[in-house]
Chain A
Amino acid sequence: MNTVRIDARGMHYSLLNTAIRKAVASGVREIIVDNVMGQRFIADGLKGDATLTIHGVPGGDLGMFMSGPTCIVHGNCDHAPGNTMDNGKIIIHGSAGDAVAHSMRGGKVFVRDNVGYRAGIHMKQYMEKRPVLVIGGSYRAFLGEYMAGGLILSLGDPAVHPHTERGIGSGIHGGKIVIRGNIDEYYLGVGARTFTLSNEGMDEIIPLIEEYAGYFGIDPDPLIHESYTQVTPSSSRPFASKYTWE
């Protein structure tokens, strides 16, 4: 049996996760979870390459510490999907709450619509591990706060979602935020600075735009022809003087 369907109605998250782990351990590759309603911690710490299709509204910390699987959510997510995720993918057909991709270490999170405050807070990277967060709609303040690595790509149309959220890259000391359109420096956080995205930078985001467009059934070409701004740390150690005496 390669597909398992779980009805999560009224089910506590621990039982739901037990059922998911059991299915994965028995070699199931496709798990469909119906009637999800606020269950936290779904697929947390899950390993392997299974695909979970989630119908409903999962609670916080979806895919926390997850390493490998793909979660496709048909609905909105609560706080921190992809929290400290190690590998795999989360694809959200909807919006997500605050702290999306919190401390993420690897893998990719795609949000079709909007994210809340502090998306990508303290994302990090090490050697081949480089997490990616792609946002299709709007983001709120403190995007990429304390960011230490990885890539945040915001594709939202500035004509629909103007860039008026404060603290972009506040405390950023690694990684990169790429945002469609131009950013008024007023909205940058401490330690962040902007550049127009270079051709090499563009080459890096085109496959991500295509991947995003593929998941959500849109034409990637107009997005590929937009101009983008890159937000990066103002130096390699922007906060050295705050914590050390040299």
Chain B
Amino acid sequence: MDGANIRKALSMMDERGSGEGAGYVAYGAFPEFAECYAIHVFFDTVHETKPAVDQELAKWGTIIHEEEIPTYEQQNLRKIHTPWRYFFLPDPHLMPRSTTPEDDIVMHLVMKVNTTIPGALIYSSGKNIALFKASGWPEEVADFYRIQDYKGYLWLGHNRYPTNTPGWWGGAHPFNLLHWSVVHNGEITSYGTNRRYIESYGYRCSMFTDTEVVAYLFDLLVRRHQLSPEIAVKALAPPFWDDIDRMPEKVARLNTAIRLTYGPALMNGPFAIVVARPDAIVGFTDRIKLRPLVTGTSGSKLYISSEEAAIRIMEPGVGDITMPRAGEPIIGRVVA
């Protein structure tokens, strides 16, 4: 799928945004560099800041290819950062005690650059993943990067209405870390608790907004703790205690254990979230359903959206439009 369709879907929901941030992510966008980590950086000024990032990357591996991300001037979109992408191969020998040395090196680089090199922000770092975001309306951001020129097997798109934090390029969704990308409607009122918890595992929040903790929580729970996406969602949006009391004993014990183990990962507040990784996509809402989520399928395609019309504009023949229950994960797995 190229990016033209998802642009159309987002433009159905312009009322949900304020023109201060929009973005897209495409999985499978760089087949010629599929094995490399596609490290995306916003530079304030390339000549001042880039040498420091180059130097940091060179410490940990090899830059196979790099380029300024092509952009196309838009009337209302001010290019305040220069988006750049590196195709990077980390050297696994440099992280000898890790079971996932490449991922850990790249995660370290993201945290290091974003907290110690002013004027540089790594906003995406996964293999074969292209991320496009900026401050603007969804149509402008799509045209700014010409996302119709990219193809992917999995796309996320987002239109932001910043409420509690300022709109800026880094604060636009999707958020990405390694193989995870996240789009989010709502607010995570438990951000403080979640942030303290995730930072105790070495993650550093640097985007000035709540959504990035979701990417880090999924990385911790699913990649590092190896929970299934179903169990991870139960940790983030668990059943109520009184519902757990009415479950069969074994199920109740499992749910109790998850809540007790992952208490600080529980996310409060209104949210509808979609998380993607290369082999799957999961959508879920907060447990009292304070934000909308609609799903539909057509053949082997799964659509998850805030509104039914956005799905129908992409897929007029969509079959089974459904509204998932609060806290119920909708999981799509990549086939073939």
B312 touches A57 (CB 8 A): yes
B289 touches A37 (CB 8 A): no
Q: Could you say which residues of chain B place their CB within 8 Å of the CB of A186?
A: 242, 246
Contacting residues of chain A (53-72) with chain B, CB-CB under 8 angstroms: 57, 59-60
Main secondary structure of the interface of A (DSSP, over half): loop
Q: Could you say which residues of chain A place their CB within 8 Å of the CB of B242?
A: 186
Give A114 Cβ to nearest chain B Cβ, in Å: 8
State whether A59 and B292 are in contact (beta carbons under 8 Å apart), knowing that A38-B13, A40-B15 are contacts in the complex: no
Nearest chain B residue, comparing its CB with the CB of A59: B309
Contacting residues of chain B (237-279) with chain A, CB-CB under 8 angstroms: 240, 242-243, 246
Which residue of A38, A116, A117, A166 is within 8 Å of B310 (Cβ)?
A38
B307 touches A37 (CB 8 A): no
Contacting residues of chain B (265-321) with chain A, CB-CB under 8 angstroms: 288-289, 292, 294, 307-310, 312-313, 321
**B223 interfacial by beta-carbon distance below 8 Å:** no
Q: Could you say which residues of chain A place their CB within 8 Å of the CB of B309?
A: 37-38, 57, 59, 78
Give B27 Cβ to nearest chain A Cβ, in Å: 26
Q: How far is the CA of A117 from the CA of B323 in the complex (A)?
A: 10
A76 touches B289 (CB 8 A): no
Nearest chain B residue, comparing its CB with the CB of A77: B308
Q: Could you say which residues of chain B place their CB within 8 Å of the CB of A142?
A: 288
State whether A38 and B289 are in contact (beta carbons under 8 Å apart), knowing that A57-B308, A76-B321 are contacts in the complex: no
A37 touches B12 (CB 8 A): yes
Which residue of B13, B289, B307, B313 is within 8 Å of A117 (Cβ)?
B289
**A98 interfacial by beta-carbon distance below 8 Å:** yes
Q: How far is the CA of A60 from the CA of B15 in the complex (A)?
A: 10
Nearest chain A residue, comparing its CB with the CB of B321: A76
Q: Could you say which residues of chain A place their CB within 8 Å of the CB of B292?
A: 78-79, 97-98, 116
Q: Could you say which residues of chain B place their CB within 8 Å of the CB of A134?
A: none
Give B214 Cβ to nearest chain A Cβ, in Å: 22
A59 touches B307 (CB 8 A): yes
Contacting residues of chain A (127-147) with chain B, CB-CB under 8 angstroms: 140-142
Q: Could you say which residues of chain A place their CB within 8 Å of the CB of B112?
A: none
Q: Could you say which residues of chain A place their CB within 8 Å of the CB of B12?
A: 37-38
Mark each residue of chain A from 27 to 65: 1 if its CB lies under 8 Å from any CB of chain B, else 0: 000000000011010000000000000000101100000
Q: Could you say which residues of chain A place their CB within 8 Å of the CB of B240?
A: 166
Give B65 Cβ to nearest chain A Cβ, in Å: 40
Give B330 Cβ to nearest chain A Cβ, in Å: 15
Q: How far is the CA of A49 from the CA of B308 in the complex (A)?
A: 29
**B325 interfacial by beta-carbon distance below 8 Å:** yes
Q: Could you say which residues of chain A place their CB within 8 Å of the CB of B243?
A: 166
Q: Could you say which residues of chain B place their CB within 8 Å of the CB of A166?
A: 240, 243
How many residues of A are in contact with the other chain, CB < 8 A?
21
Give B293 Cβ to nearest chain A Cβ, in Å: 10
Q: How far is the CA of A176 from the CA of B144 in the complex (A)?
A: 53
Contacting residues of chain A (78-101) with chain B, CB-CB under 8 angstroms: 78-79, 95, 97-98
Which residue of B246, B321, B326 is within 8 Å of A141 (Cβ)?
B326
Q: How far is the CA of A97 from the CA of B323 in the complex (A)?
A: 8
Q: How far is the CA of A69 from the CA of B211 in the complex (A)?
A: 42
Q: How far is the CA of A232 from the CA of B229 in the complex (A)?
A: 40
Q: Could you say which residues of chain A place their CB within 8 Å of the CB of B288?
A: 117, 141-142
Q: Could you say which residues of chain B place their CB within 8 Å of the CB of A59?
A: 307, 309
Give A189 Cβ to nearest chain B Cβ, in Å: 12
Give B139 Cβ to nearest chain A Cβ, in Å: 13
B289 touches A98 (CB 8 A): yes
Q: Could you say which residues of chain B place their CB within 8 Å of the CB of A76?
A: 308, 321
CB-defined A-B contacts under 8 Å, sample of 24:
A37-B312, A38-B13, A38-B309, A40-B15, A57-B308, A57-B312, A59-B307, A76-B308, A76-B321, A78-B307, A78-B308, A78-B309, A79-B292, A95-B323, A116-B292, A117-B288, A117-B289, A117-B326, A118-B289, A140-B323, A141-B288, A166-B240, A166-B243, A186-B242
9 closest A-B pairs (Cβ-Cβ)? A38-B309, A117-B289, A38-B12, A57-B309, A37-B309, A57-B308, A116-B323, A78-B307, A76-B308
